[in-house]
Amino acid sequence: MKKFYVTTPIYYPNDIPHIGHFYTTLAADILARWHKLKGEDVFFLTGTDEHGKKIETAAQKKGEEPKEFVDGLIPKFIEAWKKLNIDYSRFIRTTEAAHIDTVRFMYDKSYKKGDIYKGFYEGLYCTGCEAYYQEKELETGCCPVHKTKVEILKEESYFFKLSAYRDRLLEHYEKNKSFVRPESRYNEILFRIKEGLLDFSISRNSFKWGIELPFDKEHIAYVWFDALTNYLSGVNYLTNKEQKYWPADLHLVGKDILWFHAVIWPAMLMSAEIPLPGQIFAHGWWTFNKEKISKSRGKVINVDELIAIAGVDAARYFLFAETTFGQDGDFSTEGLLRRRDADLANELGNLVSRALTMCEKYCAGKVPVYKEENCALGAGEIKEAAISAVARCCQCMEEIDFSGALNGIWSFIKLLNQYVEKTAPWKLAKNNEKEKLDTVIHVMLEGIRLTAVLLGPFIPETSEKILGQLGLEAQEKISFENKAKWGQLQAGTPIKKGKILFPKDLTTKNG
């Protein structure tokens, strides 16, 4: 059985999660569901990054111990993932003992290899990023990500010999042209590696909240060295000798943290002689009404606020239909409602409602018989379109092009709506053309079935509802090939018309 191991960044639990965190985690959920649909053995890892100065400072501000502080916030993440219908395999916390052991193992391996040496560091530090900056990287003296003042940090520190991995990294990039996606990001990172790599500080001794190094108790692990290792501890790399998931197939990250994943992480793995992940995909940045998402300026949207706008599936759909994965996007309530009304309620919802109503009215609520000879009505064209919609969806999902997949599905939905208008089943009913009428309704229902299958990973609740309305409940055991094949609906299957799928007023949503 093919396996698929996908990860999200582990988020800093210094505050409740917001739409940026939802985005990456939803992307991983969609991919995990897609690969499950294809019959693969999927492992989907997410979690929280709980050590470091940023967490220590946030805890101090609340007058709490760091562990107590993060323990209070973790349920917020878990609740949010549940509300958004995110079905992960494991939620890892970097304060877990097994993770701590894995971090120590990584330090130990590199130390013994001679890739870690002691030195003294003085540099410009941004606590928001938990990273040092060079003067030339700053924007008017401020961190380019957080736009806040950096501080001068001076400390005795252990260094990792990143510079020694330049050539091996270049070779890996040359041999694996899709190691980083989108392609523009691959080129950008390759260019920076070619420019040269600097050794970097991987320990701290100016504060306490972190993992003690195995070879020096006075120092704690650098939070990024600690955090990146979660991808190994998440699949019990240290204790599970028959490792079936590592190497990860895909690390999904925001563009802000690509450098850590595309350069530092592979070098750490090379140093520890562990195989590298298959691909790192960096997605773009969401703004909120064109402004940076920022708690201090009140520009955040939490999970309840997001769901209150138009429900979970509308939000899931909007985030992935609105922008190409990899590009930046702007979130607005109006934008979400516009897509809910146009795409989900009008195009998908009405199609489903019309097809089921007609099936009840003209076919006694049972899937009618499909007669091949009635293809003159355009059913052949629909069948062809269905086959290409499936192929396009598979191709796009392989390339992690969510909006491309959704566009393909929506072209098919539009075609089905045109088919209803063109064939006008109500006229066929009036003229008593029963066989033609049956074929048209069968084609509509089959088109809807296939649409629901392809939409499953994106809008799982709606997909399940539609399949349930078509009398198709237990679908797990059916292979993707069969589900995605045209012509699977059995004549005679009773349908169950339910409530409207995307009501404008959420309080009436009960189907």
Kindly state whether residue 12 participates in binding ligand ME8, applying the rule CB under 6 A. yes
196's torsion region: left (phi>0), alpha (psi -120 to 50) or beta? left
Kindly state whether residue 256 participates in binding ligand ME8, applying the rule CB under 6 A. yes
Nearest to 470 by CA among 313, 380, 353: 353
Active site residue 99: no
Kindly state whether residue 94 participates in binding ligand ME8, applying the rule CB under 6 A. no
Other beta carbons within 10 Å of 82: 11
The region of 63-71, 98-106, 200-208, 226-234 touching ligand ME8 under the rule CB under 6 A is 226-234
Instruction: Measure the CA–CA gap between 118 and 223, rounded to whole angstroms.
Output: 17
Looking only at Cα atoms, what is the longest distance across the chain?
A: 89
Instruction: Measure the CA–CA gap between 236 and 495, rounded to whole angstroms.
Output: 46
Kindly state whether residue 469 participates in binding ligand ME8, applying the rule CB under 6 A. no
The correct pick among 145, 164, 276, 293 for binding ligand ME8 (CB under 6 A) is: 293
Active site residue 261: no
3 state DSSP class of 6 = strand
The region of 3-11, 139-147, 240-248, 399-407 touching ligand ME8 under the rule CB under 6 A is 3-11
Kindly state whether residue 285 participates in binding ligand ME8, applying the rule CB under 6 A. yes
Active site residue 359: no
CB closer to ligand ME8, 329 vs 368? 329
The correct pick among 4, 5, 24, 469 for binding ligand ME8 (CB under 6 A) is: 24
The correct pick among 44, 179, 186, 286 for binding ligand ME8 (CB under 6 A) is: 286
Q: Which of residues 416-445 bind ligand ME8 (CB under 6 A)?
A: none
**462 has which bridge partners?**
none
Active site residue 295: yes
Sign of the alpha-carbon torsion through 89, 91, 94, 99: negative
CA 460 distance to own-chain centroid: 14
| Active-site residue, selected from the candidate residues 3, 147, 295, 504 | 295
CB closer to ligand ME8, 227 vs 454? 227
CA 230 distance to own-chain centroid: 17
The region of 6-14, 187-195, 212-220, 405-413 touching ligand ME8 under the rule CB under 6 A is 6-14
Active site residue 18: yes
Helix, strand, coil percentages, rounded to 5, for the chain: 50, 15, 30
Active site residue 292: yes
Instruction: Measure the CA–CA gap between 139 and 145, rounded to whole angstroms.
Output: 9
Instruction: Provide the minimum distance between the beta carbon of 361 and ligand ME8 in the complex, in angstroms, as a whole number.
Output: 46
Kindly state whether residue 20 participates in binding ligand ME8, applying the rule CB under 6 A. yes
CB closer to ligand ME8, 49 vs 438? 49
The mark string for 128-167 relative to ligand ME8 (x by CB under 6 A, - otherwise) is ----------------------------------------
Residue 200 buriedness (CB in 10 A; 0-12 / 13-18 / 19+): buried
Instruction: Measure the CA–CA gap between 3 and 246, rounded to whole angstroms.
Output: 10
Q: Which of residues 38-57 bind ligand ME8 (CB under 6 A)?
A: 49
Instruction: Measure the CA–CA gap between 295 and 18, rounded to whole angstroms.
Output: 9
Residue 64 near residue 209, CB atoms below 8 Å: no
The region of 10-18, 149-157, 350-358, 457-465 touching ligand ME8 under the rule CB under 6 A is 10-18
Alpha helix stretches (DSSP H) within 323-349: 333-339
Kindly state whether residue 264 participates in binding ligand ME8, applying the rule CB under 6 A. no
Q: State phi, psi for 134 to the nearest 5 degrees.
A: -90, 155
Kindly state whether residue 201 participates in binding ligand ME8, applying the rule CB under 6 A. no
Instruction: Provide the minimum distance between the beta carbon of 356 and ligand ME8 in the complex, in angstroms, as a whole number.
Output: 38
| Active-site residue, selected from the candidate residues 35, 36, 109, 143 | 143
The region of 112-120, 285-293, 431-439, 451-459 touching ligand ME8 under the rule CB under 6 A is 285-293
The enclosing H or E element of 90 equals strand 90-93
Instruction: Measure the CA–CA gap between 278 and 4, rounded to whole angstroms.
Output: 10
The correct pick among 257, 269, 382, 420 for binding ligand ME8 (CB under 6 A) is: 257
- Return all residues near 154 (Cβ < 8 A) that are at least 6 apart: 120, 121, 122
If you count DSSP H runs as helices and E runs as strands, how many of each does the chain have, helices first? 20, 16
Kindly state whether residue 11 participates in binding ligand ME8, applying the rule CB under 6 A. yes
CB closer to ligand ME8, 13 vs 349? 13
Kindly state whether residue 126 participates in binding ligand ME8, applying the rule CB under 6 A. no
End-to-end CA distance of the chain: 36
| Active-site residue, selected from the candidate residues 36, 99, 129, 251 | 129
Where does this chain bind ligand ME8 (CB under 6 A)? 9-12, 20-21, 23-24, 49, 227-228, 230, 253-254, 256-257, 285-286, 293
Q: Which residues have a catalytic role annotated? A: 18, 21, 126, 129, 143, 146, 292, 295
